[in-house]
Each structure stands twice: as structure tokens, then as C-alpha cells.
């Protein structure tokens, strides 16, 4: 990955050049605009038309646009790549500023504009991955940031989220073997837990309709629960999840994998 | 909008207080019926507000709108097909996270929604602060606070609902649930294909359809098959399958699970923004109550006590109005008997109509009380605990914890019991419960036992009756095991059930719930019993003129004259005694005439035709006739026996019938056989009709009739013939 933020000769680009390329790229991808005119660029960047013309000459010389005065204008392949990259950065930064930091849209737009030139490609890549991550694994545990690191380590396939979670649960429960690998000895079936014991849901298994119903009733991955009691005849059992009391049969509970709060004790045995 | 009639649908999780709000809004102006084709209760009511006629429809309480249970399908289909003007989603404010799951599905469905945060007072007391403005902004839906049981905020709720229809507001696209990148890509691809295949008349939102197809929703797939042109629908369904498989592969998980998870992710995000929980250490009253009511040692004794109290109340308290009604019915018959000229019409009215309706009306107070108790159990939240306690036992015979309640009610009357089976989610569980409920010995069978056991097992009558009840339970259990093995095989419904917090019931709600069911009972069953008893009356009264073996008219005249002569001859003291004697003699003759008339009536002839079937179980033609009439209502068996044995009175305690039975040569063994038959054989007309309605299947209804009667005959046969072999007097 990494931005190709240099011209055909390998000379670095200035932030202003990048802004121009971004603007032209934006106009280029707009289907309503058939030909890109100097006037459009000037309006978009809020500069005077002569400045645009002189900049276009520079960009033309550096092989980023094809431009003849009073003729049509187009981006070269390299120019397009830079424009696209800057636009993407702008988008991601803006998203980060608005969604994560809760900054208002106008400010975010303005500041993303400044940041997009300053950050290195690798920082940008990390930020991109982070934005993907919070979308894919929206409910992480307490050590959310640590999980993000694991997410990066393990590659960015969304399927990694589940494993990640298991690892996270395992780590937080302290159930690792000597090599640091997660052995998850602390995990058990819900049906093995005792009255009054607390824990977190790792995975809900079983027949698909039942699984769906259980998840709908709040038995989502990572949620805290406690065993309120077993019925007098030891079946069914009663859980408290998010303040709701839910009952299910022992047979159904046997399909639910959990990590008890005191899992460490189990591992140390 | 220039409509003056708006349709408002209420949705919400079970226990969200939706029914209370519905009752508050519509009061007694509600109609209760069934959703077409299924036995899910449909309630609606119409009120006038803001210059509109508001038709309010109470949709079944659900956790979700996936096609998991009948209730969910009903609710979703209503919104999809009937397109109510606005849907009001009742949310339990102290249970925001889970409630938002359903709420979000409504938003995805693209219907006009108003969210109602109900029981706001409870939530506040529990330390939850909800930022309603933020919630409204994030979800793009109006949000209103209410306290349903106090009626607070309901006007505001309706006003917002109406104005959201007037403003024609639609949820902005960007406010809806966003899934992760891969799923959004799949939705995008599928949506493009769907968009190109539909026109503006397509009834559903294309994005929603795409989501459902990726989730493998079979009902929506069927809809697409009906709605789209063959070429389009093949393309759409094929792509949907591909994408669904792709998502499954990407996430190593079924798409519907992934998406359910992600919806919860979305909700968790919202919760973080709008909900502030101040963790107050508070006393959870509901939990404390449960420490006692579902306690390991106390749970069952308390449960048994509640059940005992319910029956005690039903039958002891019900006895008073029962007596009044009996007296009233008796008085009416007597009055009509005096006013109307003796003849066929008077006979029809008194014995056919009043006798028949009276037989049902008499049980009505019991049924009201029983339903009232059941309503208390349901409204307080104890019903769920009863299921929790009983599930282990019920599960052993292949049933669900909730099956216990219908079976229990079966001891009172099978009809409401069969109707109570509605609370079971799975169709198989429901049918099985309905099929075994008639084996629970209903109260109408008790008079039969009292007469027969009293006659033949005088000292041990109580024990015998108790054993009969046990036999019924045993047969029910064996039937449950058998049916589960043979034809109701397969997945049992999982026992995933919420144990809602205990709540103080509202009298208004209790009365409405009681009356809804009682009304259904009166309407459907009263009519059938009336028709049934008229038929039985007609069969036993015709032909009017039979060939009597003796000329009764002549004999009566002779007796009259003989007594007239003797009275004239006797002194004044003798006269009183002779008058008495004369009346007795005349009555005896009248009865003998009646016996002969009944014996020769169509019913009597029928009884004689089928008596060979009953003779192996020790029942003669009179017993056969009585059992036939028992189809109308089981207690009729006793009154028919009364008529056939010519004892005059049909009261259960009358010694006349007992003496006559003993004198007829019927043995204790035959009496036991007959009681067993009455216990087990086909349920009464009303119950059969109820079975038909609730199972929605002629096959299961027929099965019930044939199976119960077959079992009754076999058991009676085994006992009677076995007893004879063992040397008991046969």
C-alpha cells in the first residue's frame, strides 16, 4: 500500500499540489461534469483563476496532468493515483474525527484537509485499519485497544473478529499457557456452572433458530451474566443478563460456551 | 393526508406493558378474535381522537421479527401486508438494549414508527437516565415517554403518532443499521439486482428485502417467488444464495447469526450514547420474591398451595352463584311448566332448551373464577415461574413447562384448558397438550363418579374417585410419550423463556382478560351445547307414540278409580295415607311409561343397536344410551340414567337411582368399568369443537375422538374381563 505521493521523477509533492490533485480527481469522478474547467477548480479550492492556471502548468511539467492552455484537462495515471489517495485519506480522517472524536462536520472537514498531507503512509494505513476494525468488531471488551493490536497482528479478515474475541476473553481470564498461546482451559459450558457463579458468554451454539432466539434475548458474545439458580429439580436454570431473568434448559445451556469470572483458578489447578 | 381513519399497530416485547397500554386506550371497546388461520389472539379497538377514528391493533408480543414463532410471523405479516399507518413500538425503558433489537427491525422494515419508552417511572427508580432527544436523533424516529399503568403520556403518544402520519415522515436512510463492510457489500450487490427487477409498485423496501434474503428468510423468499417475474426472481434468489454462502464463508458463521450479532453491535453503540446508569444499590423486590417462590425446598409446596387455592376458590366460591343459577333455571322451568299448556312445545322448551343451556350456564361462575385466577397468575408473572418449576417433570413426557397450566385447568373444564394451550410457542407442543388434556378428569365427570362409586364402593368411594383421577393422569402421560414417539416427533421447542419481574396486577386488566376468555367460552360453546341438547332431546322424545306393552292410560284410570273407591270407604285418618299411596302409584306408572317411551325412542333404539359393543365391558343398553347422551356434556350421563332407571329425580345424591342401579343387577366391577369409560372416552361436544378450533386440523380432531374412545374401551375391557377372570363377581 502506501501513497504514491511523488511525481514521475520521484520528487516529493507539496501539500498545495496534493490539494489540487484531490480537487481535480473529485471533479473527474463527478459524472455530471463532462469537461474539467479552470473555473471549476478555482471555485472548489476557493482561489483565483490565474493561480489555477499557473499551478496546472507546474503539474503538467511534473507529469501529473495533461494540460494545454484553453484546451481540455485530464489527470495522468500517476496524477489520478495521488488524487485518489488524498481523497481517501480525507474521507477516513473526517470519519475518524466525526465518529470517534465527535467533532462537528465543518471543523472535521477543515482539519482533515490539513492532516491529510502531514501523516505518513503507515500511520494512515493504521488509521484505516482502525476505522475498519471498529465497524467490524463493534463490541469489544474492556481492553478494546489491545484487541485492535491483535486484530492488526492477525490480519484484517473479518472472520478474525471471533477468534480475536476468544483470545481476548482468554487473555482477560488469564488462561494462557507458557508460550503465551491461548489454551482457553478456563472456558466451560454454561451448564457446568454453579448457582451464583458469574461469567461472560463466549459462544452460543446449537440449532440455528435456538441460537438466534438466544442472541435476540440478549445472550450476545461477551455479555456478562450470573447464574441465579437452578430449578428445584435441577432443570431448567435461570440466568441474569443485563438485569433480565432468562430461563433455559440444561441441555440448551450445554451448547453455550462461557468463561467464568474465576477462570484463572481453574487453569492453575 | 385526507383520511379520517388511521390504523395504528402496537408492537413490543412480551412484558413491555403493551397490553396494559392497549387496555388503557381501548377499555371495553375491544374486539377479540383470531388472526386468520392461526390461533394467535387478535385484539383491536377503535377510538376517536384528534378528529380521527383510530383503529388500534394489538400485535402479539415478540422479541424480534424473524420468522421464529407464529406470533412473530403474524406481527410481521401484518406490518408488511396490511401496512398500518403507523406502528407504535412499546419499549420497556428499564430494558432498553433488548427492546431496541425489535425497534431496529421495525426501522429496517421501513414502516412509520413511533418509539414509546414505557414504565419510565420504574426505569428512573432503577437509576436509568435515557436521553430521549439523542435517541430520537440517532434513530430518526419520534420518541415518547409513558407510564402505561397510570395512563401517563398516552395522549402524547397518540398525538405524536398521528402527527407523524400527517407529516408523512420517513426514516432517513443513513439512520438505519449499518452492517460491516462485507455484509454491506453483499447487500449493495443484491440490492442493485433487486432494484432493476422491481417497479414502484413493489410493496417492500428493497434494502430490507436484500437483508432478509441474505439472512435466508424463507418467508421472504416465498414472497419474492410470488411477486417477481420468473426470470428476475431466479436471478435475485440465485444471487442471494451465492452472497449468503459468501458471507457464511467469510465469517465462518451463518449469515443470520452474524447479522443478529451486528445489530446488537449497532444497538450497543446507541446505548452508550443515550443511556446513563447510576448504579444505585437497590433492593430488587422481584428477586427477593423469587428467592421464596422458586426456592429449592419451598417452591413446590407453594406452587401446590396456589393451585389448591385456585381450585378451592373456583369450586367453593363458585358454589353460591351456581346454586342461584340452578334455582333460577329450576324456577324458570317450573314457571314455564305451569304457564304453557302441556305438550310437545313445552317439553321442548323446558327439557330441550332450558335444560341444555342451564347445563352450561351453571358452570359459568366456576369458569369466571378459574379464568380470573389464571389472569392473576399471568399478570403477576407467576405463570412463568410455574413453567420454570414444572418443566423438568413435563419434559419427561415430551412436553413443555407451560403445558402444565392447560393440563391443570383440564381438571376444571377441558374447554378453557384447550384454549389455554395457546400460550405454547411450538405447534407440536400445543397439539400434544391439547390431545392429552381431555384425560384430565374434568369437573363434569365428578357427578358420574359420585353416583357410581357411591353405589358400588360406598365405604371406599373417595379412594376410588382419587384413583380414577390418577388413572387419567397416567393415561395422559403414556399418551404423551406415545404420541411424541409416533407422530409428533422431532425438535421439541427450546425452553428459552423470560422470567419477567413480578408486577402488581391491575384489576381492570384482570377483568378484561377474564372476560375476553369467558366471552369466547359463552359464545362458541353455549351455542353448540344448545344445539347438541336439542338433538339429544329430539332423539329421546321421538317417535312420540310408541307401542307400549301395557295400556298405561287404562291402568292409570283403573288405579284412580280403585283409589277413589277405597278413599271413599276409608275413614278420615286413612284418607291421608291413601292419597299419599295413590300419588306414589300414579308416579310409578308415569315413570314406567317414560322408561318405555325412552327405550323405544330413536335414542333407545340406537342404544340397543350399539349395546353389543358395550356388553364386553359390562354395560347394558341403558348404560349405552347414557354414555351416548354424555357426548353433550358428561354430567348428562347421570340424568339419563335417572330417566332410564325410572327413579324420577336426577339429583346426584338421590338414593332412588342408587337402589335402582343395585337392583338392576349391575355389579361393582361393571360400575368401575363404566366409570373408567366415562373418565377416558370422547370429550364432550364443546371440547371436541374446541380441539377442532385450536388445532385447526380435522385430522387431529378425529384422532382425538377415536383415540380417546378406543383407549376408554380397551381400559374398561381389560378391567372388566380381567376382574372376571380373577373371580370378582361378573
Please choose, from the candidates B487, B451, B486, B449, the residue with its C-alpha nearest in 3D space to the C-alpha of residue B470: B449
Cβ pair B495:A244 closer than 8 A: no
Cβ pair A249:B391 closer than 8 A: yes
Average pLDDT over residues A47-62: 86
Residues of A within 8 A of B268 (CB-CB) are 138-139
CB nearest to A209's CB, from B68, B97, B501? B68
Is the CB of residue B242 less than 8 Å away from at least one CB of chain A?
no
Cβ pair A247:B496 closer than 8 A: yes
Cβ pair A236:B392 closer than 8 A: yes
Cβ pair B395:A235 closer than 8 A: yes
pLDDT, tens digit (0-9, with 9 covering 90-100), for A104-146: 888 888 888 888 888 887 888 788 777 766 655 544 444 566 6
Is the CB of residue B222 less than 8 Å away from at least one CB of chain A?
no
pLDDT, tens digit (0-9, with 9 covering 90-100), for B347-377: 788 877 777 677 667 778 877 887 888 889 8
Number of other residues whose CB lies within 10 A of the CB of residue A40: 18
Asked whether residue B309 carries a pLDDT value surpassing 60, the answer given is: yes
Asked whether residue A159 carries a pLDDT value surpassing 60, the answer given is: no
Structure-model confidence comparison of residues A155 and B483, the more confident one: B483
Asked whether residue A269 carries a pLDDT value surpassing 50, the answer given is: no
CA angle B331/B335/B339 to nearest 5° reads: 175
Q: What is the ipTM of this complex?
A: 0.76
Cβ pair A247:B260 closer than 8 A: no
pLDDT at B649: 45
- Residue ranges of B 459-518 with Cβ closer than 8 A to chain A: 491, 494-501
Q: What phi and psi values does residue B70 have, to the nearest 5 degrees?
A: -55, -40
Is the CB of residue B294 less than 8 Å away from at least one CB of chain A?
yes
pLDDT at B55: 93
Identify the DSSP state of A226.
E
Is the CB of residue B181 less than 8 Å away from at least one CB of chain A?
yes
Average pLDDT over residues B636-642: 79
pLDDT, tens digit (0-9, with 9 covering 90-100), for B89-146: 999 988 888 899 999 888 888 788 999 999 888 888 888 889 989 898 888 889 999 9
Across B32-46, B74-88, B343-357, the highest mean pLDDT is recorded for: B74-88
Cβ pair A249:B495 closer than 8 A: yes
- Residue ranges of A 209-228 with Cβ closer than 8 A to chain B: 209-218, 220-221, 228
CB nearest to A233's CB, from B261, B393, B499? B393
- Chain Cα centroid distance, residue B312: 21
Asked whether residue B609 carries a pLDDT value surpassing 70, the answer given is: yes
pLDDT at A4: 46
Asked whether residue A237 carries a pLDDT value surpassing 60, the answer given is: yes
pLDDT at A164: 54
d(CA B172, CA B163): 17
Find all residues with CB under 8 Å of A6, minimum gap 6, and list them.
A12, A13
Which of A129-143, B198-212, B251-265 is the least confident region?
A129-143
d(CA B158, CA B154): 6
- Set of cell numbers at residue B185: 457489500
DSSP B269-321: HHHHHHEEE-------HHHHHHHHHT-TTTHHHHHHHHHHHHHHIIIIIHHHH
Average pLDDT over residues A50-76: 82
DSSP B15-65: TSSHHHHHHHHHTT-EEEEE-TTS--EEEEEEEEETTEEEEEEEPPP-S--
Biggest distance spanned by C-alpha atoms of chain A: 90
- Give whole-number Cα distances, B170 to A150, B303, B353, in Å: 41, 50, 59
d(CA B116, CA B315): 42
d(CA A199, CA A241): 10
Cβ pair B388:A247 closer than 8 A: yes
pLDDT at B282: 56
B416 neighbors B385 (Cβ within 8 angstroms): no
Please choose, from the candidates B714, B717, B711, B687, the residue with its C-alpha nearest in 3D space to the C-alpha of residue B483: B711
pLDDT, tens digit (0-9, with 9 covering 90-100), for B547-596: 777 777 788 888 888 888 887 777 777 778 888 888 888 877 777 777 77
B178 to chain A: closest CA residue: A135
Please choose, from the candidates A132, A114, A201, the residue with its C-alpha nearest in 3D space to the C-alpha of residue A166: A201
Residues of A within 8 A of B250 (CB-CB) are 157-159
Number of other residues whose CB lies within 10 A of the CB of residue B287: 13
Structure-model confidence comparison of residues A153 and B319, the more confident one: B319
Residues of B within 8 A of A210 (CB-CB) are 494, 496
CB contacts < 8 A, A to B, total 134
CB nearest to B98's CB, from A162, A231, A244? A244
CB nearest to B389's CB, from A221, A231, A248? A231
Best B181, B185, B497 residue to mutate vs chain A (most A CBs within 10 Å): B497
Number of other residues whose CB lies within 10 A of the CB of residue B479: 19
pLDDT at A174: 47
pLDDT at B85: 92
Q: How many helices (H) and strands (E) does chain B have?
A: 33, 10
Average pLDDT, rounded, for chain B: 83
pTM for the structure as a whole: 0.71
Kindly compute the dihedral angle of the four CA atoms of residues A258, A259, A262, A263, in this order, to the nearest 10 degrees.
120
Cβ pair B264:A210 closer than 8 A: no
A151 neighbors A161 (Cβ within 8 angstroms): yes
Across A107-116, A240-249, B704-713, the highest mean pLDDT is recorded for: B704-713
B498 to chain A: closest CA residue: A246
Percent of chain B with pLDDT over 90: 18
pLDDT at B635: 77
Starting at the edge strand that comes first in sequence, how are the strands of the sheet with A244-248 ordered? Answer: A188-189, A256-260, A198-204, A224-230, A237-241, A244-248, B497-498
B248 to chain A: closest CA residue: A159
Please choose, from the candidates B451, B437, B358, B459, the residue with its C-alpha nearest in 3D space to the C-alpha of residue B687: B437
Please give, rounded to a whole number of angstroms, the shortest distance from the CA of A233 to a CA of chain B.
7
Average pLDDT over residues A204-211: 83
pLDDT at A148: 66
* CATH code for residues B5-172: 3.40.50.300
Best A136, A226, A245, A253 residue to mutate vs chain B (most B CBs within 10 Å): A245
Percent of chain B with pLDDT over 70: 93
Is the CB of residue A250 less than 8 Å away from at least one CB of chain B?
no
Best A237, A244, A252 residue to mutate vs chain B (most B CBs within 10 Å): A244
Confidence tier at A17 by pLDDT (50, 70, 90): confident
d(CA B153, CA B159): 10
pLDDT at B460: 83
CB nearest to B499's CB, from A208, A213, A245? A245
Average pLDDT over residues A181-203: 78
A162 to chain B: closest CA residue: B251
d(CA A62, CA B29): 81
Best A95, A226, A232, A239 residue to mutate vs chain B (most B CBs within 10 Å): A232
Please give, rounded to a whole number of angstroms, the shortest distance from the CA of A3 to a CA of chain B.
22
pLDDT at B2: 54
CB nearest to A247's CB, from B253, B269, B495? B495
DSSP B357-412: HHHHHTTHHHHHHHHHHHHHHHHHTHHHHHHHHHHHHHHHTT--GGGHHHHHHTTT
Cβ pair A233:B180 closer than 8 A: no
Fold that domain B181-272 belongs to in CATH: Helix Hairpins (1.10.287)
pLDDT, tens digit (0-9, with 9 covering 90-100), for B418-475: 887 877 777 788 899 999 999 998 878 888 888 888 888 877 888 888 889 889 999 9
Average pLDDT, rounded, for chain A: 75
Query: Is A188-268 a domain of CATH 3.30.450.20?
Result: no
Structure-model confidence comparison of residues B118 and B171, the more confident one: B118
Please choose, from the candidates A67, A96, A81, the residue with its C-alpha nearest in 3D space to the C-alpha of residue A8: A81
Question: Which residues make up the CATH 2.30.30.90 domain(s) of chain A?
Answer: 188-268
The 3-state DSSP class for residue A265 equals helix
Average pLDDT over residues A83-99: 84
pLDDT, tens digit (0-9, with 9 covering 90-100), for A18-38: 888 888 888 877 766 667 788
Query: Is A1-136 a domain of CATH 1.10.4000.10?
Result: no
DSSP A38-93: HHHHHHHHT--HHHHHHHHHHHHHTTSEEE-TTS-EEE-HHHHHHHHHHHHHHHHH
Cβ pair A231:B295 closer than 8 A: no
d(CA A64, CA A5): 11
How would you class A134 by CB atoms within 10 Å of its CB: exposed for 0-12, middle for 13-18, buried for 19 or more? middle
The 3-state DSSP class for residue A237 equals strand
Is the CB of residue A146 less than 8 Å away from at least one CB of chain B?
no
Residues of B within 8 A of A213 (CB-CB) are 63-64, 68, 494, 496
The 3-state DSSP class for residue B192 equals helix
Cβ pair A157:B256 closer than 8 A: no
Cβ pair B294:A236 closer than 8 A: no
Tracing cell 508460550 back to the chain, one arrives at A179
Confidence tier at A177 by pLDDT (50, 70, 90): very low
Find all residues with CB under 8 Å of B221, minimum gap 6, and list them.
B213, B237, B240
Average pLDDT over residues B300-314: 85
Question: Which residues make up the CATH 1.10.10.10 domain(s) of chain A?
Answer: 1-136
Beta strand B5-12 with B86-92 is parallel
- Give whole-number Cα distances, B92 to A173, A201, B123, B501, B673, in Å: 33, 24, 8, 12, 56
Is the CB of residue B264 less than 8 Å away from at least one CB of chain A?
yes
Number of other residues whose CB lies within 10 A of the CB of residue A107: 11
Confidence tier at B241 by pLDDT (50, 70, 90): very high
d(CA A164, CA A170): 10
Asked whether residue B693 carries a pLDDT value surpassing 90, the answer given is: no
Amino acid at each position: 500500500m502506501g501513497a504514491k505521493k511523488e511525481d514521475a521523477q520521484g520528487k516529493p509533492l507539496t501539500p498545495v499540489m496534493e490539494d489540487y490533485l484531490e480537487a481535480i480527481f473529485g471533479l473527474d469522478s463527478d459524472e455530471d461534469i463532462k469537461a474539467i474547467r479552470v473555473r471549476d477548480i478555482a471555485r472548489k479550492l476557493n482561489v483565483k483563476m490565474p493561480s489555477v492556471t499557473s499551478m496546472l502548468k507546474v503539474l503538467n511539467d511534473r507529469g501529473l496532468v495533461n494540460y494545454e492552455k484553453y484546451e481540455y484537462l485530464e489527470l495522468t495515471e500517476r496524477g489520478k493515483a495521488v488524487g485518489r489517495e488524498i481523497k481517501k485519506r480525507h474521507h477516513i480522517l473526517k470519519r475518524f474525527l466525526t465518529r470517534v472524536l465527535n467533532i462537528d462536520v465543518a471543523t472535521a472537514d477543515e482539519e482533515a484537509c490539513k492532516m491529510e498531507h502531514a501523516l505518513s503512509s503507515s500511520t494512515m494505513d493504521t488509521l484505516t485499519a482502525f476505522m475498519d476494525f471498529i465497524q467490524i468488531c463493534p463490541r469489544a471488551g474492556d481492553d478494546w485497544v489491545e484487541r485492535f493490536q491483535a486484530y492488526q497482528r492477525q490480519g484484517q479478515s473479518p472472520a478474525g473478529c471471533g477468534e480475536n474475541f476468544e483470545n481476548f476473553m482468554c487473555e482477560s481470564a488469564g488462561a494462557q499457557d507458557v508460550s503465551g498461546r491461548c489454551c482457553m482451559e478456563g472456558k466451560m459450558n454454561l451448564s457446568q456452572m454453579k448457582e451464583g457463579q458469574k461469567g461472560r458468554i463466549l459462544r452460543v451454539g446449537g440449532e440455528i433458530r435456538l441460537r438466534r432466539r438466544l442472541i435476540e434475548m440478549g445472550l450476545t458474545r461477551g455479555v456478562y451474566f450470573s447464574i441465579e439458580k437452578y430449578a428445584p429439580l435441577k432443570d431448567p436454570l435461570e440466568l441474569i443478563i443485563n438485569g433480565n431473568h432468562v430461563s433455559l434448559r440444561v441441555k440448551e445451556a450445554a451448547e453455550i460456551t462461557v468463561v467464568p469470572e474465576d477462570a484463572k483458578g481453574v487453569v492453575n489447578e | 393526508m385526507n383520511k379520517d381513519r388511521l390504523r395504528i399497530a402496537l408492537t413490543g416485547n412480551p412484558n413491555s406493558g403493551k397490553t396494559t397500554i392497549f387496555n388503557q386506550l381501548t377499555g371495553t371497546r375491544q374486539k377479540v378474535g383470531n388472526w386468520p388461520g392461526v390461533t394467535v389472539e387478535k385484539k383491536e379497538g377503535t377510538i376517536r381522537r384528534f378528529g380521527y377514528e383510530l383503529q388500534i391493533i394489538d400485535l402479539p408480543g415478540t422479541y424480534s421479527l424473524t420468522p421464529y414463532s407464529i406470533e412473530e410471523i403474524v406481527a410481521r405479516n401484518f406490518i408488511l401486508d396490511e401496512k398500518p399507518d403507523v406502528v407504535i413500538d412499546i419499549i420497556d425503558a428499564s430494558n432498553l438494549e433488548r427492546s431496541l433489537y425489535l425497534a431496529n427491525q421495525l426501522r429496517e422494515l421501513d414502516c412509520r414508527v413511533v418509539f414509546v419508552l414505557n414504565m419510565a417511572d420504574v426505569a428512573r427508580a432503577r437509576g436509568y437516565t435515557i436521553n430521549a432527544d439523542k435517541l430520537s436523533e440517532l434513530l430518526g424516529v419520534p420518541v415518547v415517554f409513558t407510564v402505561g399503568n397510570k395512563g401517563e403520556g398516552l395522549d402524547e403518544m397518540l398525538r405524536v403518532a398521528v402527527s407523524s402520519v400527517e407529516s408523512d415522515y420517513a426514516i432517513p436512510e443513513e439512520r438505519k443499521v449499518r452492517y460491516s463492510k462485507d455484509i454491506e457489500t453483499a447487500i449493495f450487490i443484491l440490492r442493485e439486482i433487486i432494484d432493476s427487477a422491481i417497479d414502484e409498485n413493489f410493496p417492500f423496501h428493497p434494502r430490507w428485502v436484500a437483508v432478509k434474503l441474505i439472512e435466508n428468510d424463507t418467508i421472504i423468499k416465498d414472497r419474492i417467488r410470488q411477486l417477481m417475474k420468473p426470470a428476475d426472481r431466479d436471478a435475485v434468489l440465485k444471487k442471494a444464495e451465492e452472497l449468503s454462502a459468501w458471507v457464511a464463508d467469510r465469517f465462518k458463521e451463518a449469515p443470520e447469526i452474524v447479522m443478529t450479532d451486528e445489530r446488537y453491535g449497532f444497538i450497543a453503540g446507541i446505548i452508550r450514547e443515550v443511556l446513563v446508569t447510576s448504579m444505585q444499590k437497590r433492593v430488587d423486590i422481584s428477586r427477593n420474591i423469587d428467592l421464596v417462590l422458586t426456592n429449592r425446598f419451598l417452591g413446590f409446596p407453594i406452587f401446590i398451595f396456589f393451585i389448591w387455592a385456585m381450585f378451592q376458590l373456583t369450586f367453593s366460591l363458585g358454589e353460591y352463584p351456581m346454586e342461584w343459577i340452578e334455582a333460577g333455571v329450576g324456577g324458570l322451568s317450573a314457571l314455564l311448566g305451569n304457564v304453557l299448556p302441556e305438550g310437545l312445545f313445552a317439553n321442548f322448551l323446558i327439557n330441550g332448551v332450558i335444560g341444555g343451556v342451564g347445563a352450561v350456564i351453571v358452570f359459568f361462575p366456576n369458569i369466571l373464577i378459574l379464568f380470573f385466577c389464571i389472569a392473576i397468575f399471568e399478570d403477576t408473572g407467576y405463570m412463568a415461574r410455574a413453567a420454570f418449576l414444572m418443566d423438568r417433570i413435563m419434559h419427561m413426557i415430551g412436553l413443555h413447562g407451560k403445558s402444565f397450566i392447560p393440563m391443570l385447568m383440564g381438571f376444571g373444564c377441558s374447554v378453557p384448558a384447550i384454549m389455554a394451550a395457546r400460550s405454547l410457542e411450538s405447534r407440536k407442543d400445543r397439539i400434544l397438550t391439547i390431545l392429552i388434556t381431555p384425560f384430565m378428569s374434568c369437573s363434569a365427570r365428578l357427578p358420574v363418579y359420585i353416583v357410581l362409586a357411591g353405589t358400588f364402593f360406598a365405604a371406599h368411594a373417595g379412594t376410588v374417585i382419587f384413583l380414577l383421577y390418577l388413572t387419567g393422569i397416567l393415561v395422559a402421560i403414556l399418551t404423551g410419550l406415545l404420541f411424541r414417539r409416533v407422530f409428533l416427533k422431532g425438535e421439541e421447542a427450546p425452553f428459552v423463556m423470560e422470567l419477567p419481574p413480578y408486577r402488581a396486577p391491575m384489576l381492570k386488566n384482570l377483568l378484561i382478560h377474564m372476560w375476553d376468555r369467558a366471552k369466547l367460552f359463552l359464545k362458541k360453546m353455549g351455542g353448540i351445547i344448545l344445539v347438541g341438547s336439542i338433538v339429544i332431546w329430539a332423539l329421546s322424545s321421538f317417535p312420540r307414540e310408541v307401542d307400549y306393552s301395557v295400556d298405561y292410560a287404562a291402568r292409570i284410570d283403573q288405579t284412580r278409580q280403585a283409589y277413589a273407591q277405597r278413599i271413599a270407604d276409608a275413614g278420615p285418618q286413612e284418607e291421608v295415607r291413601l292419597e299419599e299411596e295413590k300419588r306414589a302409584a300414579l308416579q310409578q306408572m308415569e315413570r314406567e311409561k317414560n322408561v318405555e317411551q325412552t327405550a323405544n325412542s330413536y335414542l333407545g333404539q340406537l342404544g340397543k343397536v350399539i349395546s353389543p359393543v358395550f356388553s364386553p365391558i359390562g354395560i347394558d343398553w341403558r348404560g349405552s344410551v347414557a354414555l351416548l347422551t354424555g357426548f353433550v356434556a358428561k354430567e348428562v350421563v347421570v340424568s339419563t340414567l335417572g330417566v332410564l332407571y325410572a327413579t324420577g329425580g336426577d339429583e346426584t345424591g338421590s338414593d332412588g337411582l342408587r337402589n335402582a342401579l343395585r337392583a338392576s343387577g349391575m355389579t361393582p366391577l361393571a360400575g368401575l368399568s363404566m366409570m373408567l369409560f366415562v373418565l377416558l372416552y370422547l370429550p364432550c361436544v364443546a371440547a371436541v369443537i374446541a380441539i377442532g378450533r385450536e388445532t385447526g386440523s380435522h385430522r387431529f380432531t378425529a384422532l382425538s375422538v377415536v383415540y380417546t374412545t378406543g383407549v376408554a374401551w380397551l381400559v374398561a375391557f381389560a378391567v372388566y374381563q380381567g376382574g372376571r377372570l380373577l373371580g370378582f363377581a361378573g
